[in-house]
């Protein structure tokens, strides 16, 4: 695509990077067929190609975006399915991340929207605040139908709806201390996952130790920054990224084989720290090192192999691939291979490439589209009559659980059980 950025615009590294992304797009439109919002809404402006045109026009002309442009960019899930489909290698992720930060700087949202976004950004990345908010949400749940009737308050209704009826007790943050013959890894502690499903981390530690790894937690770690990054809150996202780079650099200096992540949404962002901090003279090299060491837990497990199998029932598992794992990190086979090696029968639902509608805070800020995508995903999974659904991202697990009877577990919970750990829900 021809671009017309001025030399002065291109002197800004972010603008230069976006111009390079836009130039790669040959507007073939292959990406439209695999874009969840285009599939649902059928509007070119809700397709990757349409959004690229909107972002090009906004950035190239230095326009203050209007509500119509913001609406179509906000409706993008950042699922990155378009990047998997694109034959020209368009890095849509970097372009939309830049566009969101640009919108945040130049567009004044209605006050209710601003307040809701500020609230989410002030709560979700902090486990203690998130836990307190969930406890409050349980009591406020009867207000959800009222909030749902008032358009600006629909995100509040969505939050109340997503809050679990029962919150697991706070789990102690104990990493394994035994030295591991295979090496030492840091397990990212995360923010939402340990509050909603602490058993995922417990299963991961048991499994990694059984595989021969010493598992550590890094002091000073925070949220990965993905939630604020996807809201265009660049300053906050980079602050989280720098704190994590500092925390993990201290671990790297004492000898580290990998930084492991169990929530693939976080993994995609951490693997991008090198790009996000590339212009920061203090952090660029350290961030690149952190990104190079970041691995999804299934990546490491596939490379190291599973321990011997225990005697467990051969369940029918439907694997839901999170977008951040299959499109963001291009990890598709590893979770399925591991589940099969552990003795499970594994199937993929129809349209496995389409997002379930979770997408970070998407199911809060775009509840109608998210609900349609969630129902569609639940239907295609239920058609396979699973005993259990396996996935690799807490957001997907919460979203799919809303519409499914079958238990929705993290892949590591099944692998832990299959190699000697407690049955999920029992340990
Ligand atoms: S598939 Fe790639 S090159 Fe084609 S329109 Fe979409 S983003 Fe552009
Ligand atoms: S990231 Fe997903 S929702 Fe956004 S344009 Fe690409 S395919 Fe569509």
**Separation of CA 326 and ligand 2 centre (Å):** 13
Number of other CB atoms surrounding residue 222 within 10 Å: 19
Query: What's the first-to-final CA gap in the chain, in angstroms?
Result: 55
Nearest CA to ligand 1 atom 6: 31
**Cα torsion for 274, 276, 282, 287, to the nearest 10°?**
-30
Tally of CA atoms within 13 A in the half-sphere of 409 that contains its CB: 26
Domains 7-106 and 183-301 share a fold: no
What is the best residue among 32, 37, 45, 49 to mutate for testing ligand 1's pocket, by most ligand atoms within 8 Å of CB? 49
Residues 6+ apart with CB under 8 A from 366: 74, 75
From 3.40.50, 1.10.10, 2.60.40, 3.30.70, which CATH number describes the 183-301 domain? 3.40.50
What is the best residue among 30, 79, 84 to mutate for testing ligand 2's pocket, by most ligand atoms within 8 Å of CB? 79
Nearest CA to ligand 2 atom 7: 35
Task: Indicate if ligand 1 lies below 6 Å from the C-beta of 90.
Answer: yes
Residues 6+ apart with CB under 8 A from 67: none
From 1.20.58.1030, 2.40.10.340, 3.90.920.10, 1.10.1060.10, which CATH number describes the 7-106 domain? 1.10.1060.10
- Ligand 1: atom nearest CA of 88 is 3
pLDDT at 183: 95
CA-based radius of gyration for the chain:
21
- Ligand 2: atom nearest CA of 85 is 7
Rounded to whole angstroms, the Cα distance separating 189 from 164 reads 20
The fold of 309-418 is Rossmann fold (3.40.50)
Rounded to whole angstroms, the Cα distance separating 27 from 269 reads 27
Task: Indicate if ligand 2 lies below 6 Å from the C-beta of 322.
Answer: no
**Separation of CA 87 and ligand 1 centre (Å):** 7
Residues 6+ apart with CB under 8 A from 328: 80, 93, 264, 265, 267, 268, 271
**Separation of CA 47 and ligand 2 centre (Å):** 7
What is the best residue among 1, 52, 86, 92 to mutate for testing ligand 1's pocket, by most ligand atoms within 8 Å of CB? 86
* Closest-CA residue to 96 (of 107, 112, 113, 82): 82
Q: What backbone torsions phi and psi does residue 408 show, to the nearest 5 degrees? A: -115, 115
> Residue 64 in contact with residue 107, Cβ under 8 Å?
yes
Q: Do the bridges between strand 213-216 and strand 183-187 make them parallel or antiparallel, or are there none, so unpaired? A: parallel
* Closest-CA residue to 187 (of 309, 300, 322): 300
pLDDT at 347: 98
> Residue 82 in contact with residue 55, Cβ under 8 Å?
no
Task: Indicate if ligand 1 lies below 6 Å from the C-beta of 30.
Answer: yes
Rounded to whole angstroms, the Cα distance separating 115 from 129 reads 17
pLDDT in tens, 298-329: 999 999 999 988 888 889 999 999 999 999 99
* Closest-CA residue to 32 (of 45, 21, 48, 17): 48
Judged by its nearest atom, the ligand closest to the C-alpha of residue 80 is 2
Rounded to whole angstroms, the Cα distance separating 272 from 266 reads 10
**Separation of CA 112 and ligand 2 centre (Å):** 26
**Separation of CA 86 and ligand 1 centre (Å):** 5
pLDDT in tens, 167-202: 887 766 566 667 788 999 999 998 899 999 999 999
**Separation of CA 34 and ligand 2 centre (Å):** 8
Residues of the chain with pLDDT under 50: 427
Burial class (CB in 10 A: 0-12, 13-18, 19+), 54: buried
Nearest CA to ligand 2 atom 8: 35
Task: Indicate if ligand 2 lies below 6 Å from the C-beta of 82.
Answer: yes
pLDDT at 175: 66
Tokens of 419: 């190699």
> Residue 231 in contact with residue 121, Cβ under 8 Å?
yes
Rounded to whole angstroms, the Cα distance separating 311 from 343 reads 9
Nearest CA to ligand 2 atom 4: 76
Task: Indicate if ligand 2 lies below 6 Å from the C-beta of 92.
Answer: yes
Nearest CA to ligand 1 atom 3: 25
pLDDT at 223: 97
pLDDT at 209: 95
Rounded to whole angstroms, the Cα distance separating 344 from 64 reads 53
Judged by its nearest atom, the ligand closest to the C-alpha of residue 362 is 2
- Ligand 1: atom nearest CA of 32 is 6
Nearest CA to ligand 1 atom 2: 86
Rounded to whole angstroms, the Cα distance separating 11 from 236 reads 24
pLDDT at 114: 96
The residue extents of the domains of the chain are 7-106, 111-162, 183-301, 309-418
What is the best residue among 21, 33, 92, 376 to mutate for testing ligand 2's pocket, by most ligand atoms within 8 Å of CB? 92
Nearest CA to ligand 1 atom 1: 86
Entry pTM: 0.95
């Amino acid at each position: 695509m021809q671009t017309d950025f001025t030399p002065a615009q291109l002197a800004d590294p972010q603008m230069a990077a976006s111009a390079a992304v836009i130039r790669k797009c040959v507007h073939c439109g292959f990406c439209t067929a695999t874009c969840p919002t285009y599939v649902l809404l059928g509007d070119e402006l809700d397709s990757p190609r349409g959004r690229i045109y909107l972002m090009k026009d906004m950035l190239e002309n230095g326009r203050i975006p209007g509500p119509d442009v913001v609406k179509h960019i906000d409706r993008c899930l950042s699922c990155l399915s378009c990047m998997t489909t694109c034959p020209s290698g368009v890095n849509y992720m970097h372009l939309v991340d830049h566009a969101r930060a640009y919108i945040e700087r130049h567009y004044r949202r209605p006050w209710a929207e601003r307040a809701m976004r500020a609230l989410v950004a002030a709560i979700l990345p902090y486990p203690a605040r998130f836990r307190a908010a969930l406890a409050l949400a349980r009591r406020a749940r009867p207000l959800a139908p009222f909030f749902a009737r008032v358009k600006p308050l629909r995100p509040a209704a969505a939050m109340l709806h997503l809050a679990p009826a029962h919150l697991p007790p706070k789990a102690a943050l104990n990493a394994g201390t035994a030295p591991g013959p295979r090496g030492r890894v840091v397990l990212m502690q995360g923010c939402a996952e340990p509050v909603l499903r602490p058993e995922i981390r417990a299963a991961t530690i048991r499994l990694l130790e059984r595989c021969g790894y010493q598992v550590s937690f890094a002091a000073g770690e925070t949220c990965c920054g993905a939630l604020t990054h996807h809201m265009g809150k660049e300053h906050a996202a980079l602050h989280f990224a720098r704190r994590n780079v500092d925390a993990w650099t201290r671990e790297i200096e004492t000898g580290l084989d990998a930084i492991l992540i169990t929530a693939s949404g976080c993994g995609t962002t951490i693997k991008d720290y090198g790009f996000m901090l590339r212009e920061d003279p203090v952090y660029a090299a350290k961030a690149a090192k952190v990104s190079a060491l970041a691995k999804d837990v299934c990546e490491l497990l596939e490379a190291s192999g599973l321990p011997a199998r225990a005697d467990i029932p051969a369940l029918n598992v439907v694997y839901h691939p999170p977008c951040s794992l299959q499109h963001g990190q291009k990890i598709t086979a590893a979770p399925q291979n591991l589940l099969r090696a552990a003795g499970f029968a594994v199937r993929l639902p129809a349209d496995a490439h389409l997002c379930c509608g979770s997408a970070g805070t998407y199911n809060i800020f775009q509840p109608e589209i998210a609900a349609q995508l969630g129902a569609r995903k639940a239907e295609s999974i239920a058609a396979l009559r699973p005993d259990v659904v396996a996935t690799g991202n807490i957001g997907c697990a919460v979203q799919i659980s809303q519409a499914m009877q079958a238990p929705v577990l993290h892949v590591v919970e099944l692998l832990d059980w299959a190699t000697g750990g407690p049955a999920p829900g029992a340990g």
